[in-house]
Amino acid sequence: MERLQKIIANSGYCSRRKAEELIKKGLVKVNGQVIIELGTKASLNDYIEVEGKSIIKKEDKVYYLLNKPRGIITSTSDDKGRKTVVDLINTTTRIYPVGRLDYDTTGLVLLTNDGELANLLMHPSNKIDKVYVAKVKGIISKEDLKRLESGVLIDGRRTSKCRGKILKIDKKSNTCIVKLVIHEGRYHQVKKMFESIGYSVLKLKRESMAFLTLDGVKSGDYRELSIKEVKSLYSLF
């Protein structure tokens, strides 16, 4: 017997946190009975419905690392018919991206049906490093870089401390390349951080998450994580 939200997350339907929200809303049934208590336990032999859909079996966990190109939506579907990151993965398993990258942002995206690991990786309290490289309009000063590192106000909230480094300066085009290491994942966060100090982002790429990098993975390509890598991710928490 396991907690109901864990069974739902393990099925690949959604993350554990999302499963808890669905239970609280009365959208989960076990053997035909609506469940609203988070402590409820069940087994895989029980008939479990989530939002009217049955969870048939416990799926094997799958983990993919994708090098997302520009013009791809970081979602499982798109109402405008645009291609999503899920469309780039050749699998019959129901997977979803861990966090999001903007439409025009490239780089590393993890996709999985492991709701527990996805939740752990996305929660800011776990402080998982995400490395971004941005091409910025203007030559950013060391003082402004320190402001970013100390935290800036975006959408009424201050960002956590981060690490930054100026990689290249091109005075002719009045641009520079900046590496930023953050552990949050707020909406348009990196772009808004630069905008808050007066710089616009021309290009943005996520190069790594935790110890995972894009080494050997070309734009638009992907690879499966090894068992060792998955275990190493869990060992971070």
- Which residue ranges does the chain devote to CATH 3.30.70.580? 63-124+212-234
What are the E-state strand segments in 90-143? 96-97, 106-112, 130-137
Model pTM score: 0.77
pLDDT attached to residue 57:
58
Catalytic residues: 102
CATH superfamily placement of domain 2-54: RNA-binding S4 domain (3.10.290.10)
> Where are the CATH 3.30.70.1560 domain residues in the chain?
129-209
Which ranges in the chain are annotated with CATH 3.10.290.10?
2-54
pLDDT reading at 79 higher than 80: yes
Query: pLDDT band at residue 108, thresholds of 50, 70 and 90?
Result: very high
Alpha carbon distance 107, 215 (integer Å):
11
Instruction: Return the bridge partners of 157, or none.
Output: 154
Strands 53-54 and 48-50: antiparallel
Predicted local confidence at residue 56, as pLDDT: 60
* CATH entry 3.30.70.1560 includes domain 129-209: yes
Mean pLDDT of 100-120: 94
Q: Architecture of domain 63-124+212-234 in CATH?
A: 2-Layer Sandwich (3.30)
**Strands, E assignment, 10-116:** 28-30, 33-35, 41-42, 48-50, 53-54, 63-68, 96-97, 106-112
Q: How far apart are CA 15 and CA 12, in angstroms?
A: 8
Average pLDDT over residues 83-101: 94
Which residues are paired to 179 by β-bridges? Answer: 133, 165
Residue whose tokens read 């752990």: 120
Q: What is the pLDDT averaged over residues 169-173?
A: 96
